[in-house]
Amino acid sequence: MIPNQWYAVLRGQDVKNKPVGITRLNKKLVLYRDSNGEVACLEDRCAHKGVLLSKGKQHGDAIACPYHGFQYNQQGKCVHMPVLGKCGVIPRTMQVPAYKVHEQHGLIWLWNGEQQDSYPEVPMFANFAEYKGFTSLYGWTAPIHYTRYVESVCEVYHVPFVHKGSFLNIWDPKGGRVDDFRCAIDGHLITSDFILRPDDERPAQDTLTAKFPWQRGWRIGVDVLMPNLVQIRNDVFDVYLVATPIDDENTWVCFCYQEPKKDLLFPFFKPLPIPLWRQLRPWMMCRMERFIQQAKDLEAIEGQWPRASSLSANNLIPVDKVNAYYLRLRDKLIREAEAGKSTQSKAPAVPIHLVTEPAGSALETNSL
Ligand code: FES
Ligand SMILES: [Fe+2]
């Protein structure tokens, strides 16, 4: 994973008034809210004998280990050892690592890197940061490497194949041909736009207004924001997801849907402007994503190998350009971080690049 980046690790609503244990970024973590409602994050391991602190209880601003009751504050400092009594001198080594966290956009973000005097903004698509309607956030774990999850969302031309068995597939673009593909990169943001359509003689634009779903093409935008966010835009819904590594085999996936612009089951009716219904629709989209769509994705990609994606692990084609840019930018940010440079205080010197090319042409215009 890329150092010196913010990673979303949990929904804010999942941390209430007791410690929560999670594994993210190959680390065991415990999160809790202090008396001001601020989230604290410590290594989930008591400095005394290695017991999970997430099994303990919260006492004010501290959490107490369930084994011998040692209490640790938000900075991971042991502030009370019952065995020594109230006036006991606490050894300085009785300390657990504390992590920098920040809560925003309904998510808890963890800084994966060195402590700094100031930190960059957490990454978020402007489209969602500014959205005023209802959204729903829903997280779950998937048994694949996070890079494979990101790339599966980057290339939606798998939809006509992977999701064929789904009853929702009546609205999916048929044929899987991609036209009018554009891709650009600006700092940590990769954007793309294309038409996914049936493979017939019509000009791509004509497929967008076809009468029947099985004749219809879709204009779709797919954007990646480093280190691990992907957004899909179309005329029915806007959604983003984060794919945060749990470990080298598993990913914590969190989807965020805005209110859909249409109801696919009743496309000719305007959605009812009732708040409860407006809230329910993004909630349902998230569940549909997990239990219907992702179940199909996993059937296809669960055994994919090598587990982690990379440029050398794939044989990418021109319409995989978002994928290619993502993997290159990832390599670049890892190299920069390893070289000890700050990669977040200023955007990397990646040239803005806009490419329009038909499917089938070469990838040589990449310029990372
Ligand atoms: S193991 Fe935690 S207090 Fe002893
Ligand atoms: Fe899919």
Single out the residue of 84, 86, 58 nearest to residue 72, CA to CA.
Answer: 58
Place of tokens 């913010």: 6
Q: Per-residue pLDDT for 187 more than 70?
A: yes
CATH number at 126-356 = 3.90.380.10
Whether 345 has a pLDDT exceeding 70, the answer reads no
51 Cβ closer than 6 Å to some ligand 1 atom? yes
Reported as a pLDDT band with limits 50, 70 and 90, residue 169 is low
**Ligand 2 centroid vs 361 CA: distance in angstroms?**
25
Residue of 48, 52, 79, 81 with the most ligand 1 atoms within 8 Å of its CB, for mutation: 48
Q: pLDDT value at position 357?
A: 42
Query: Which amino acid residue places its CA nearest to atom 4 of ligand 1?
Result: 68
Q: How many CA atoms lie within 13 Å of 194's alpha carbon, on the beta-carbon side? A: 30
Exposed, middle or buried by CB within 10 Å (0-12, 13-18, 19+), for 114? exposed
The CA 90 to ligand 1 mean position distance, Å, reads 13
Regarding the beta carbon of 68 and ligand 1, being less than 6 Å apart is answered yes
For the chain, the domains span 5-112, 126-356
Q: How much distance in Å is there from the Cα of 108 to the middle of ligand 2?
A: 26
Given a cut of 60, is residue 208 above it in pLDDT? Answer: yes
Q: Which of 46, 83, 90 to mutate to test the pocket of ligand 1 (most atoms within 8 A of CB)?
A: 46
Mean pLDDT over residues 277-298, rounded? 90
What Rg value do the Cα atoms of the chain yield, rounded?
23
- Top-level CATH class of 5-112? mainly beta
What is the pLDDT confidence band of residue 263, given thresholds at 50, 70 and 90? confident
Minimum mean pLDDT range among 137-141, 220-224, 272-276: 272-276
Q: Inform me whether the pLDDT recorded for 352 exceeds 50.
A: no
pLDDT digits (tens, 9 = 90+) for 66-101: 999 999 999 999 999 999 998 899 999 999 999 999
Closest-CA residue, ligand 1 atom 1, reads 49
Q: Is 353 within 8 Å of 365 (Cβ atoms)?
A: yes
When pLDDT is cut at 50, 70 and 90, the band that residue 270 belongs to is confident
Q: Please report which confidence band the pLDDT of residue 22 belongs to, taking 50, 70 and 90 as the band edges.
A: very high
Ligand 2 centroid to 156 CA: how many Å? 7
Q: Rounded CA gap, 267 and 109, in Å? A: 37
Quote the ligand 2 centre to 49 CA distance (angstroms).
44
Residue 355 has pLDDT above 60, yes or no: no
